[in-house]
Structure 1
C-alpha cells in the first residue's frame, strides 16, 4: 500500500487500539513499512486477521512488547556512516566550538537514540575535541527514544566486542573498560549522557540545543508528521544550531526552517527568522546569571573578535576603520596599516559593494541593514557571494558611536540556488514547449497541466521512495541480527555435540574389548578399535554396513537371534560363547555380551555387542 492508496480500515483499527490502550500513536508512521512489520509479527503468532490480532492483544498483555519491538526497529551502531561522522568532527564540531566561549556550555540532543551507540559516539567525538575534563564540565548530551526497553539497555552502556567493530581501536582503549567479558563505556564520562523517553510526535522538544542528531528516524514518518517534527527541531535549536540527519533523509520542502551546510552528509543549520516557530512547545528557559567578575575580558573580546570565522570590520562615528578581524584581513587584503584610515580611502568602501551609502543609512535610521546577493570576483580567484550585515553600535548616551560590518560568505548557498534556478529554468523551458503544443491540442490541456504539477513533486516522491528503501534495509538488517543470534546458538549447540561425540569416542577407544553398536536395522553405527584388532576390519569399512554382510571370523548366523531379541526387548541382556577365527587366522573362543540400546523413553532403538577372547 502506498501513501496515496485508501487506508485499510481493519489495520487502522489496530493503530487506534494501540493508541487508546497503551498511548503509542503510530498514525504518523508510513503505512507501507508499518503494515509490513505488523504483518510480520502476526505471522509469527499465526494470525491472519487484524480483528483477530486485536483480540489476541486483549488476552495476552505480553504481546504488546513483542509488537513494539517489531515496529520500533532499533538498528544503530557506533560511527554509522564514518565519512559523515568524520566531517561532523572535523568541520561542524570545530566550528561550533570556535563560535562559543571557552567555558560556554554545549547542549546536544540525540533523538531516536535506540540502544545508545549514537549518543556515546557523540560523547567520544566531543571528548576528543575538548579533552575529558572540559568535556565533563561543559557538555550535556540528552539521548531520547520512544522505546523504553532500548533506553534500559542504553543506560547500562555495556556492549559486546562485535558491537564496537566500527570504533577505532585507540578510541576503544581510551573510552571503554572490560566488564564481565564485554565492554562498558567509561563511567566518569557516562554521567554526561542523560537518557529519557521522548515521543517526537507528541512530547515537547528539549530547548537551547547546539547540535541535534536524528539519523534515520524521520524516514519512518509520513510527510505531514515529518513537517511537524522538523518544526519542533527548529524550536529546539539555538540560532546557530546544527541538525544532523541520516543519509536517506533530505529536507526538500523545509528551506524556511533550515539552511544546508553539507547536503551530501545531510548537515543543516537552523534558519533564523523563519516564519513557523513553535513558541508554545516548552516553557521559558532559565536565564543564566552572568554577573561575575571575568578577568582579562578586553583581551578575550579582542581574541574572540579576531578569531571569528566570518569577515568583520568596525568603523567609528567618523567613518574611520578601527577594527578588522583576521578573516577580513585575509579576504579583503587589509593590513594593520589600514586601521585608522578613513573608509573612503579603502578599496573595501566600494569593493565588493558600495558601503558608504549603506553606512550613512544605518547611521541616519539607527537600525540594521542587510545587503543580499553581493557578488565579487576575487583577484586571481573565483567569484564569491556575500550577505553583508551593517549594525549600528549605540553608546551609553544613545548616540551611534560606530557601525559593525559583517560579510557572511554565502557562495555555497548561492551556487546551490543557481543550480536550482537553472534546473527551474530548464523545467520552465520544457513547460513553454509543452504549452505551445497544447495550443493545437486543446483537448489534452488538463492532462499536460497535471503532468507539470507531478514534475514539481517528483523530488519529494523520489525522496519518499529512498526513505522506504532505507527502511526496508534496516528491517533486513534487524532480521540479519536475529539470524546471527540463532546462528550463534546453533554453533554453541554444535560445539556441545562435538564435545559429547569426542567423549563417547574416547570411551569406545579406551575399551580393550571389541564393541559393535547396531541400529534397528542391524546396520553398524559404531565399531571401536578393539573390534578392529579382533576381526581385522577397519572402522570405515564396517560403519554403515549390515552386520550379516561383514566378512569376519565370528559366526554371525548364531549371533543374529540374540540381536533380534535385543531389538525387540529393551530389557534384554545375554552372554554367549562362540568358536571363531580372529584376524590372525587362529581358532579362538569369543565371549559375546549382547544387550539392548535403550532410548530415553525406555524403548529399544538398537543393540550393543561386546566381544573378547575367552581364556
Structure 2
C-alpha cells in the first residue's frame, strides 16, 4: 500500500466508521492491514473502496486496532498492589467506588476487578467497561471464556466466581450484573466523570503522541481528586504533572487532591 493509498484508505475508513486513523500509529495499522491481507480477509490492498464495503472488513480492522490480548488477573503484581495498597487507600476516604475499565477488550479485566472488590467486602460500587469493538463487547457480555483466558487468576477466585461449562468457563451471574458494558471511542464523544478508579491498560501504546496527550487530558478530567489511574506495562506517561497526576509506581498514578 503506497502512502497515497493509505491516506485514501484512512479517509474513507473515518467517513464510514467515525474512527480517525490519524490518532493511531500508522506503522502499526499498516502491519495489521498486511496481516489481514495475507490472512485472506480482502484481496486488493490498494483498493480501499472494495475493502470498506466488505461487510466483515471494518470489524476486522477495528479489532486489530484495539487491544485484544487480555486475560484474567493479567500482571498479577498490578492486581496485588491494587487490592492491598491502592484500593484500601481509596476506601479510607470513600464508602463506595465508581470504577471504569477503559478499553476493556473482551471483559476479563472488568470481571477481575469485580472479583477483587467482592473479595474486599465492598458492598457499594459500580463498574463501567467500555470498548470500541462490538465483537469484543458481545463476548464480554456473554462472560464465557476458554481456560487459557484464566491466566494467573488465583484458584480461589476461579472456583468462587467461574463455573466450568463444557470446554469453557462461565462468569458467575452476580459478576455479570456487576459490570455495565458499553461501546465507546475514547478519543471522541463525551465521557462520564466522577471516577475513583480508571483502568486504561495497553491502550496508549497504539496511539500517537498527540492522541495520548489528548486521551490523558480526558481521563484526568474524568477522575475525582485523589482518584487512581492504572496503565499497562507498556504504557508510559512521561510528564504526569501535565495531567495533575502523581506517579505511585510503574502502573499506578494518582490525581492530585484539590488544595
Instruction: Give the alignment's TM-score, normalised by structure 2.
Output: 0.92
Does the 8 Å CA contact 2:24/2:208 hold for their aligned counterparts?
yes
Look up the match of 1:185. Answer: 171
Q: Does 1:34 align with 2:20?
A: no
Look up the match of 2:127. Answer: 141
Hey, what's the Cα distance between the residues in 1 that align with 2:151 and 2:35? 30
Cα deviation 1:284-307 (Å, max 9, x = unaligned): xxxxxxxxxxxxxxxxxxxxxxxx
Hey, what's the Cα distance between the residues in 2 that align with 1:58 and 1:169? 44
Look up the match of 2:243. Answer: 257
Distance 1:165-1:70 versus aligned 2 partners, 3 A rule = closer
Look up the match of 2:10. Answer: 15
Look up the match of 1:232. Answer: 218
Task: Tell me how far 1:70 sits from its aligned partner.
Answer: 2.9
Hey, what's the Cα distance between the residues in 2 that align with 1:13 and 1:57? 12
What value does the CA root-mean-square deviation take over the aligned residues? Answer: 2.0
Q: Secondary structure at the match of 1:194?
A: strand
Does the 8 Å CA contact 1:94/1:129 hold for their aligned counterparts?
no
Hey, what's the Cα distance between the residues in 2 that align with 1:24 and 1:249? 21
Does the 8 Å CA contact 1:38/1:71 hold for their aligned counterparts?
no
Unpaired runs of at least 5, structure 2: none
Q: Does 1:111 align with 2:102?
A: yes
Look up the match of 1:44. Answer: 39
Q: Does 1:55 align with 2:49?
A: yes
Hey, what's the Cα distance between the residues in 2 that align with 1:110 and 1:257? 19
Does the 8 Å CA contact 1:106/1:139 hold for their aligned counterparts?
yes
Q: Secondary structure at the match of 2:120?
A: helix
Unpaired runs of at least 5, structure 1: 1-6, 274-369, 371-615
Look up the match of 2:78. Answer: 84
Look up the match of 1:293. Answer: none
Distance 1:47-1:79 versus aligned 2 partners, 3 A rule = same
Moved over 4 A (4+): 46-49
Hey, what's the Cα distance between the residues in 2 that align with 1:58 and 1:216? 27
Max radius of gyration: which structure? Answer: 1
| Larger RCO (alpha carbons 8 Å, 6+ apart) | 2
Look up the match of 1:269. Answer: 254
- Paired residues, what number? 257
Task: Tell me how far 1:68 sits from its aligned partner.
Answer: 2.4
Q: Does 1:223 align with 2:223?
A: no
Look up the match of 2:66. Answer: 72
Cα deviation 1:68-103 (Å, max 9, x = unaligned): 233334111111111121111110011111222xxx
Q: Secondary structure at the match of 1:255?
A: helix
Hey, what's the Cα distance between the residues in 2 that align with 1:125 and 1:66? 32
Q: Does 1:199 align with 2:190?
A: no
Hey, what's the Cα distance between the residues in 2 that align with 1:224 and 1:206? 22
Distance 1:12-1:129 versus aligned 2 partners, 3 A rule = same
Task: Tell me how far 1:21 sits from its aligned partner.
Answer: 1.6
